[in-house]
């Protein structure tokens, strides 16, 4: 994703919570986009958390899995899950999860949303924009101000409700129970815990703020 945003010198300052949220969305985006590169695997392996807490415990499990598995094994697992043919594969697109088909109404709606928010996809893979990785990357950008100023909370919630919460939890759940997944089973569990944390936080927004239109 990119935008005609300000330079680094004028980039918006984020508080620690929003910076952490944005980084989590980027982490899961990267893990779903392609077999993770060494730098992303190193960042994943560095994850540590309190096992008594659902989200942090899941992140800790994901970090441990990244430390224990080789880059080659994770790459093969990604290819088997996301690039393989057959019913056992994972098809990480919003249109497919919501309608059972590609290039359907959810993709058209997402494209309109991206246009309204100033989001421009830059991935060169040829994937439709409703790939989970692109949507999670867009959410990270809305939080961080990649497309201008950080999006206000109502706009973040609208995007989350319409394009993330409607289907990406199901994608993560499918990964978490997939019989051929090891690393991506941990990705699915951690992703589920993260999105549940986000959903609970959005639900704590007062009704007046929650239903305010996008700014």
Question: Which pLDDT tens digit goes with each residue over 135-162?
Answer: 999 999 999 999 989 999 999 999 999 9
Q: 29 lies in which domain range?
A: 14-86+110-210
Asked if residue 45 is part of any domain, the answer here is: yes
How many CB atoms neighbour CB 122 within 10 A? 9
- Which runs of E-coded beta strand occur in 49-200? none
Query: Which of 174, 196, 175 minimizes the C-alpha distance to 186?
Result: 175
CATH number, domain with residue 76: 1.10.3480.10
CB–CB of 74/41 below 8 Å?
yes
Asked if residue 94 is part of any domain, the answer here is: no
Task: Give the tokens for residue 195.
Answer: 């999105």
Question: Can you give the pLDDT at residue 78?
Answer: 97
pTM of the model: 0.88
Asked if residue 101 is part of any domain, the answer here is: no
CB–CB of 36/30 below 8 Å?
yes
Question: Which pLDDT tens digit goes with each residue over 5-62?
Answer: 333 444 567 899 999 999 999 999 999 999 999 999 999 999 876 544 678 889 999 9
Rounded to whole angstroms, how far apart are CA atoms 210 and 125?
Answer: 35
Residues 68-77, mean pLDDT to the nearest whole number: 97
């Amino acid at each position: 994703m990119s935008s005609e945003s300000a330079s680094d010198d004028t980039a918006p300052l984020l508080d620690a919570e929003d910076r952490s949220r944005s980084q989590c969305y980027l982490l899961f985006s990267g893990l779903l986009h392609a077999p993770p590169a060494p730098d992303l695997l190193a960042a994943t392996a560095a994850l540590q958390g309190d096992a008594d807490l659902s989200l942090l415990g899941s992140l800790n499990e994901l970090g441990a899995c990244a430390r224990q598995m080789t880059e080659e094994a994770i790459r093969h697992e990604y290819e088997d899950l996301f690039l393989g043919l057959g019913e056992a594969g994972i098809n990480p697109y919003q249109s497919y999860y919501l309608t059972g088909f590609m290039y359907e109404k959810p993709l058209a709606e997402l494209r309109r949303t991206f246009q309204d928010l100033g989001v421009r996809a830059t991935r060169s893979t040829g994937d439709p924009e409703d790939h989970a990785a692109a949507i999670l990357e867009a959410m990270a950008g809305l939080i961080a101000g990649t497309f201008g100023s950080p999006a206000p909370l109502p706009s973040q919630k609208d995007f989350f409700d319409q394009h993330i919460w409607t289907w990406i939890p199901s994608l993560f759940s499918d990964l978490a129970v997939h019989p051929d997944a090891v690393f991506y089973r941990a990705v699915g569990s951690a992703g589920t815990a993260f999105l549940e944390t986000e959903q609970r936080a959005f639900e704590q927004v007062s009704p007046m703020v929650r239903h305010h239109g996008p700014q």
